[in-house]
Structure 1
Amino acid sequence: MAAVEETALSQEELEAKAWAGFKEGNWQKDIDVRDFIQKNYTPYEGDASFLAPATENTKFLWNYLDDNFLAVERKQRVYDVDTHTPADIDAFPAGYIDGKSREETRDNVIVGLQTDVPCKRAMMPNGGWRMVEQAIKEAGKEPDPEIKKIFTRYRKTHNDGVFGVYTKQIKIARHNKILTGLPDAYGRGRIIGDYRRVALYGVNALIKFKQRDKDSIPYRIDFTEPEIEHWIRFREEHDEQIKALKKLIKLGAEYGLDLSRPAQNAQEAVQWTYMGYLASIKSQDGAAMSFGRNSAFLDCYIQRDLENGVIDETRAQELIDNIVMKLRIVRFLRTKDYDNIFSGDPYWATWSDAGFADDGRPLVTKTSFRLLNTLTLEHLGPGPEPNITIFWDPKLPEAYKRFCAKISIDTSAIQYESDKEIRSHWGDDAAIACCVSPMRVGKQMQFFAARVNSAKALLYAINGGRDEMTGMQVIDKGVIDPIKPEADGTLDYEKVKNNYEKALEWLSETYVLALNIIHYMHDKYAYESIEMALHDKEVYRTLGCGMSGLSIAADSLSAVKYAKVYPIYNKDAKNLEGHEYEYVEGADDDLVVGYRTEGEFPIYGNDDDRADDIAKWVVSTVMGQVKRLPVYRGAVPTQSILTITSNVEYGKNTGSFPSGHKKGTPYAPGANPENGMDSHGMLPSMFSVGKIDYNDALDGISLTNTITPDGLGRDEEERIGNLVGILDAGNGHGLYHANINVLRKETMEDAVEHPEKYPHLTVRVSGYAVNFVKLTKEQQLDVISRTFHQGAVTD
Structure 2
Amino acid sequence: MIDDVIRLREEVAMQIKALNGLKQMAASYGFDISRPAANAREAVQWLYFGYLGAVKTQNGAAMSVGRVSTFLDIYIDRDLKAGVITEDQAQELIDHLVMKLRMVKFARIPSYNELFTGDPVWATLEVGGMGQDGRSMVTKSDYRFLHTLVNMGPSPEPNLTVLYSKRLPENFKRFAAWISVKTSSIQYENDDVMRPVWGDDYSICCCVSATQTGKEMQFFGARANLAKCLTYAVSGGVDSKTREQCGPAYRPVEGDVLTYEEFMPRFMDMMEWLAAVYVKTLNLIHYMHDKYFYEAAEMALIDTDVRRTFATGIAGFSHVVDSISAIKYAKVNIIRDETGFPLEFETEGEFPRYGNDDERADEIAVWLLKTFMAMIKKHHTYRNSEPTTSILTITSNVVYGMFTSNMPDGRKAGTPLAPGANPSYGAEKNGLLASLNSVAKLPYEYALDGISNTQTINPDALGHDDEERANTLVNVMDGYFSQGAHHLNVNVFGVDKLKDAMEHPEKPEYANFTIRVSGYAVKFIDLTREQQLDVIARQAHERL
TM-score (norm 2): 0.99
The answer (yes or no) to whether the contact 1:669–1:766 under 8 Å persists in 2 is yes
Alignment equivalent of 1:772, drawn from 524, 527, 539: 524
Q: CA shift at 1:420, angstroms?
A: 1.0
- In the other structure, the counterpart of 1:427 is 199
Output the CA distance in 2 between the equivalents of 1:332 and 1:429.
29
Deviations 1:403-449 (A, max 9, x none): 00000000000000010111111111111112111101110001011
- In the other structure, the counterpart of 1:106 is none
SS in 2 for 1:315: helix
Alignment equivalent of 1:530, drawn from 278, 297, 302: 297
- In the other structure, the counterpart of 2:105 is 331
Where in structure 1 do 4 or more consecutive aligned residues deviate above 4 Å?
Answer: none
- In the other structure, the counterpart of 1:471 is 243
- In the other structure, the counterpart of 1:641 is 391
Q: CA shift at 1:476, angstroms?
A: 2.8
The aligned runs of 1:525-564 (5 Å cut-off) are 525-564=292-331
Q: Which amino acid aligns with 1:791?
A: R
Q: CA shift at 1:568, angstroms?
A: 1.0
The answer (yes or no) to whether the contact 1:471–1:591 under 8 Å persists in 2 is no
SS in 2 for 1:247: helix
The percentage of aligned residue pairs carrying the same residue is 53
Alignment equivalent of 2:252, drawn from 467, 482, 505: 482
Q: CA shift at 1:336, angstroms?
A: 2.1
The answer (yes or no) to whether the contact 2:48–2:97 under 8 Å persists in 1 is yes
- In the other structure, the counterpart of 1:781 is 533
Output the CA distance in 1 between the equivalents of 2:78 and 2:264.
61
Q: Which amino acid aligns with 1:540?
A: R
Is 1:566 equivalent to 2:347 in the alignment?
Answer: no
Output the CA distance in 1 between the equivalents of 2:304 and 2:118.
36
- In the other structure, the counterpart of 1:455 is 227
- In the other structure, the counterpart of 2:258 is 491
The answer (yes or no) to whether the contact 2:444–2:485 under 8 Å persists in 1 is no
The aligned runs of 1:643-658 (5 Å cut-off) are 643-658=393-408
- In the other structure, the counterpart of 2:278 is 511
Q: CA shift at 1:755, angstroms?
A: 0.6
- In the other structure, the counterpart of 1:354 is 128
Q: Which amino acid aligns with 2:349?
A: G
The answer (yes or no) to whether the contact 1:416–1:738 under 8 Å persists in 2 is yes
Deviations 1:122-176 (A, max 9, x none): xxxxxxxxxxxxxxxxxxxxxxxxxxxxxxxxxxxxxxxxxxxxxxxxxxxxxxx
Deviations 1:370-427 (A, max 9, x none): 0010001xx1100000000011011100000000000000000000001011111111
Deviations 1:44-95 (A, max 9, x none): xxxxxxxxxxxxxxxxxxxxxxxxxxxxxxxxxxxxxxxxxxxxxxxxxxxx
Q: Which amino acid aligns with 1:429?
A: D
SS in 1 for 2:311: strand
Q: Which runs of 5+ in 1 are unaligned?
A: 1-218, 220-227, 572-588
Larger RCO: 1 or 2 (CA < 8 Å, sep 6+): 2
Q: CA shift at 1:495, angstroms?
A: 2.1
Is 1:744 equivalent to 2:491 in the alignment?
Answer: no
Q: CA shift at 1:705, angstroms?
A: 0.1
- In the other structure, the counterpart of 2:22 is 248
Output the CA distance in 1 between the equivalents of 2:318 and 2:31.
51
Q: CA shift at 1:694, angstroms?
A: 1.1
Q: CA shift at 1:369, angstroms?
A: 0.3
- In the other structure, the counterpart of 1:623 is 373
Is 1:365 equivalent to 2:124 in the alignment?
Answer: no
Is 1:708 equivalent to 2:458 in the alignment?
Answer: yes
The answer (yes or no) to whether the contact 1:704–1:765 under 8 Å persists in 2 is yes
The aligned runs of 1:1-400 (5 Å cut-off) are 219=1, 228-376=2-150, 379-400=151-172
SS in 1 for 2:456: strand
Q: CA shift at 1:491, angstroms?
A: 1.3
Deviations 1:206-236 (A, max 9, x none): xxxxxxxxxxxxx4xxxxxxxx211111100
The answer (yes or no) to whether the contact 1:392–1:419 under 8 Å persists in 2 is yes
Q: CA shift at 1:739, angstroms?
A: 0.2
Over aligned residue pairs, what C-alpha RMSD do you find? 0.8
The answer (yes or no) to whether the contact 1:687–1:734 under 8 Å persists in 2 is no
Output the CA distance in 2 between the equivalents of 1:624 and 1:593.
31
Q: CA shift at 1:524, angstroms?
A: 0.5
Output the CA distance in 1 between the equivalents of 2:407 and 2:182.
38
The answer (yes or no) to whether the contact 1:383–1:413 under 8 Å persists in 2 is yes
Alignment equivalent of 1:735, drawn from 467, 485, 500: 485
Deviations 1:754-790 (A, max 9, x none): 1111100000000110000000011011001100001
Output the CA distance in 1 between the equivalents of 2:424 and 2:59.
32
Output the CA distance in 2 between the equivalents of 1:384 and 1:280.
20
Deviations 1:452-511 (A, max 9, x none): 10111011111111112221111232xx211233xxx42111321111111010001111
The answer (yes or no) to whether the contact 2:184–2:516 under 8 Å persists in 1 is yes
Deviations 1:624-656 (A, max 9, x none): 110010111000000010000000001111100
Q: CA shift at 1:695, angstroms?
A: 1.5
TM-score (norm 1): 0.68
Q: CA shift at 1:512, angstroms?
A: 0.6
Q: Which amino acid aligns with 1:302?
A: I
Output the CA distance in 1 between the equivalents of 2:78 and 2:475.
35
Q: Which amino acid aligns with 2:333?
A: Y
- In the other structure, the counterpart of 2:216 is 444
Q: Which runs of 5+ in 2 are unaligned?
A: none
Output the CA distance in 1 between the equivalents of 2:334 and 2:244.
19
Q: CA shift at 1:682, angstroms?
A: 1.2
SS in 2 for 1:375: helix
Output the CA distance in 2 between the equivalents of 1:550 and 1:494.
21
SS in 2 for 1:374: helix
Q: Which amino acid aligns with 1:685?
A: S
Output the CA distance in 1 between the equivalents of 2:366 and 2:246.
27
SS in 1 for 2:389: strand
Q: Which amino acid aligns with 2:117?
A: S
Q: How many residues align?
A: 542
Output the CA distance in 2 between the equivalents of 1:372 and 1:761.
17
Output the CA distance in 1 between the equivalents of 2:65 and 2:343.
45
Q: Which amino acid aligns with 2:108?
A: R
Q: Which amino acid aligns with 1:483?
A: V
SS in 2 for 1:756: coil
Q: CA shift at 1:618, angstroms?
A: 1.0
- In the other structure, the counterpart of 1:756 is 506
Output the CA distance in 2 between the equivalents of 1:530 and 1:672.
37
Q: Which amino acid aligns with 1:494?
A: E
Output the CA distance in 1 between the equivalents of 2:190 and 2:50.
28
